[in-house]
Chains A and B, each alone.
Chain A
Amino acid sequence: MKRQTKDKLVFWLFLSPALISFIIVVIVPFFMGIYYSMTDWQAVPGIPVNWVGLGNYRSMFSDIKFQYSLFRTFTFTLISVITINLVALIFAFLVTREIKFRNFFRAGFFIPNLIGGLVLGYIWQFIFKSVVPQIGGSLGIDFIENLLILANPDLTLIGLITAYTWQYAGYIMMIYVAALLNVPQELLEASEIDGANSWHKFKSITMPMIAQAFTITSFLTLVTSFKQYDIIVALTNGGPTDIFKGEVVNSTEMLAVHIYNVAFKYNNMAEGQARAVIFFLILSVVSIAQVYNNKKKEIEM
Chain B
Amino acid sequence: MKKGYVLLLMSLVLTISLLAGCTTSSNEEDMSVVIYQNKVEIGEQLTAFAKQYEEATGNKIIVKTTGGDTPYQDSLKAEFQSDREPDIFVIEGMGGYNTWNSKIIEFTDDEWIDLTDLEFTVDGKVYGFPVSVEAWGLAYNKDLLDKAGVDPATLTSQDAYREAFEKIDSMKEELGIDSVVAMAAGPDMRWVTGLHNFNGYLSAGLPYGDRTVLDKLNNGEVDMQRLTEYADWVELLFEYADETVLITGNYDSQVGQFATGKSVFIHQGNWIDPWFVQNGVDFPMGFAPHASVKGEHNAIFIGAPSFYVINKDSKNIEAAKDFLNYMATSEEGHNYMVNEAKMVPAFNNVTLKPTTPLSANVTEWMAKENGSYTWLQNDMPDGFGMGTLGPIYESYAKGDLDKEGFIEQIAKAIEALK
Contacts and interface: CB of A to CB of B under 8 A. Distances in A.
Contacts of A239: 186-188, 391, 394
A265 B383 contact: yes
B99 A248 contact: no
Interface string A95-125: 0000000000000000000000000000000
Nearest to A125: B250
B100 interface: yes
A5 B391 CA distance: 65
Contacts of B400: 241-243, 248
B3 interface: yes
Contacts of A129: 248
**Interface magnitude class on chain A:** 35 or more
A266 B4 contact: no
A17 B17 CA distance: 11
A199 B59 CA distance: 79
A118 to B, nearest CB: 8
Contacts of B337: none
Contacts of B188: 237, 239
A47 to B, nearest CB: 6
B205 to A, nearest CB: 27
B244 A44 contact: no
B383 A44 contact: no
B225 interface: no
B248 A150 contact: yes
**Interface magnitude class on chain B:** 35 or more
A43 B392 contact: no
A20 B14 CA distance: 11
Interface in B8-41: 8, 11-12, 15-16, 19
B368 to A, nearest CB: 36
Interface stretch (B72-80, B152-160, B291-299): B72-80
A5 B95 CA distance: 59
A248 B392 contact: yes
Contact of B391 (A9, A20, A250): A250
A17 B11 CA distance: 9
Interface string A225-250: 00000000000111111110001111
Contacts of A261: 383, 387
Contact of B102 (A43, A46, A240, A247): A46
Given A43-B81, A267-B383, A148 B394 contact: no
B383 A266 contact: yes
A248 B401 contact: yes
Contacts of B187: 150, 236-240, 250
B8 A9 contact: yes
B74 A17 contact: no
Given A12-B8, A241-B391, A264-B73, A5 B103 contact: no
A129 B249 CA distance: 9
Given A241-B394, A264-B71, A266-B382, A44 B77 contact: yes
A13 interface: yes
B192 interface: no
Given A44-B99, A239-B187, A1 B392 contact: no
Query: A2, A9, A43, A240: which has the most chain B beta carbons within 10 Å?
Result: A240
A265 B187 CA distance: 14
A20 B15 contact: yes
A216 B247 CA distance: 40
A16 B74 contact: no
Contact of A151 (B15, B95, B248): B248
Contacts of B11: 9, 12-13, 16
A42 B102 CA distance: 12
A236 B248 CA distance: 9
Interface string A128-170: 0100000000000000000010110000000000000000000
Nearest to A133: B244
B1 interface: yes
B26 to A, nearest CB: 22
A195 B1 CA distance: 66
A240 B394 CA distance: 8
A23 to B, nearest CB: 11
A20 B16 contact: yes
B12 A16 contact: yes
A32 B387 CA distance: 28
A249 B80 contact: no
B182 interface: no
29 contacts: A5-B4, A8-B4, A9-B4, A16-B12, A17-B15, A20-B12, A20-B15, A20-B16, A20-B19, A24-B19, A44-B102, A45-B81, A46-B103, A148-B243, A148-B248, A151-B186, A237-B188, A239-B188, A240-B247, A240-B248, A243-B395, A248-B400, A249-B391, A250-B187, A261-B387, A264-B71, A265-B382, A265-B386, A266-B387
Given A1-B3, A5-B1, 15 more contacts: A5-B3, A6-B4, A16-B8, A17-B15, A43-B77, A44-B77, A46-B102, A148-B243, A150-B187, A239-B391, A243-B400, A248-B394, A250-B391, A261-B387, A265-B383
